[in-house]
Amino acid sequence: MAKANADKLMRLRAWVQNYDWGRCGTEAQVARLLALNCGAEVEPNKPYAEFWMGTHGSGPSFLADDEEENMGLKEWIGKNPNVLGLKVLKKWGPDLPFLFKVLSVAKALSIQAHPDKELAKELHKLQPNLYKDGNHKPEMALAITEFRALCGFITLEELKDVLEDVPEIVELIGTASANQVLDIDKRDGAETVKSALRSVFTQLMSASKEMTTKAISKLKSRLHIKSQLRYLTEKEQLVLHLEKQYSADIGVISAFFFNYVKLNPDEALYLGANEPHAYLSGDCIECMATSDNVVRAGLTPKHRDIQTLCSMLTYKQGYPEILKGFPLSPYITRYLPPFDEFEVDRCILPKGGSTVFPAIPGPSIFLAFVGEGTLHTGSWEDIVTEGDVLFAPANTEITITTTSELQIYRAGVNSRFFHVL
């Protein structure tokens, strides 16, 4: 096997996941990229949910270069560990610490959270068929279209309003538990608030199927009557929409507990371990630590682990931070979450433009999303077109030029890890 050329970029064949919440056929950005990346035929009625670029065993990338065509990226890195750079190799071993994706979301994903490292190791040991690895999974979603999500718990004041305005929740958790929250005042400490929130949320998520079905039916009827008298709130409209997707699911009514986030294109949202969330609709670039661990509790036909989810959450309250990115150059914007494993750059290069991605001490993956351009390194040059995915070794300076327009995304190890920023 040929050794890695120090500054050659390696073309990759990506992997696609056809989860049932994905957009169908050519509506999906994921399907478009799949067809362009490896020539696969797109089936009009098949969902195309996630386009994976990385080394995770649930969806590994393969080298697309002729001489290495059937070799997995992980195997190739294992034989050429120097491509990661010394600091990355020392911290994470001979593997990519990040997983890069594109998501096309037509239907809500499950209400879920990702475990921290300690819990991930424990879950993987106990149930390796459900929890595929022992790693944590902090993540970031960068909107391509308008992108909607439920993320984190609403504030105490908002929660009190919910308990006063949504009688069906009080029926499920009981008046005494509801009063536990309603009676909290500003003098009570953060731990009191957290304990009360944990208690009511756990009771809600643990409600019996029979009680849940009855409560959601009542909620639906009440909101339809209300809609004749006033405009429904955005959250009420969302709950009715979720009910059409997942009828009689406790996730429908639990949506009242979460922040309803709408990202505009080019805005990003990041999530640490043990934070509840559910992506609802839209297309996004996603990056995360290399893991596929998900603990689910609602809005899903898949396995639910309500006890684990409710016990693992941080129960932080308040609206999440939205990242707008910051300019690295006139054409490159960087999104930097508070996690060592990853960052994402968005490059929009106009016709006739050129830009440079400076050499960095870690590896990168590039995705050509729209358009065409030329990538140059010291001794290597090639044309890239939309759908192309390339692995860049550490310490490679890359110059990009275009005669049309080129939109390209880069994932790499967080710059703060290298003390660059």
Neighbours of 202 (CB within 10 A): 17
* Residues 7 and 387: beta-carbon distance below 8 Å: no
Looking at residue 366, the DSSP 8-state letter turns out to be E
- CA-to-CA separations, 87 to 18, 78, 136, 339, 357, in angstroms, rounded: 35, 16, 20, 16, 20
* Residues 11 and 388: beta-carbon distance below 8 Å: yes
Q: Return the structure tokens found at 398.
A: 């890359």
Neighbours of 324 (CB within 10 A): 10
Q: State yes or no: is 334 an active-site residue.
A: no
Contacts of residue 53, Cβ cutoff 8 Å, sequence gap at least 6:
12, 14, 61, 99, 100, 101, 365, 367, 389, 411
State the catalytic residue, choosing from 296, 304, 334, 410. Answer: 296
Q: Return the structure tokens found at 90.
A: 């020392």
Q: What's the half-sphere exposure (Cβ side, CA atoms, 13 Å) at 331?
A: 21
**Please, which residues bridge with residue 103 across strands?**
50, 284
Single-letter amino acid code for the residue at 379: S
- CA-to-CA separations, 167 to 20, 45, 238, 270, 382, in angstroms, rounded: 32, 40, 17, 32, 62
Q: Is 299 left (phi over 0), alpha (psi -120 to 50) or beta?
A: left
Q: What's the half-sphere exposure (Cβ side, CA atoms, 13 Å) at 290?
A: 20
The continuous run of DSSP H or E covering 165 comes out as: helix 156-165
Contacts of residue 255, Cβ cutoff 8 Å, sequence gap at least 6:
150, 235, 238, 239, 242, 278
Query: What residues are annotated to the active site?
Result: 296
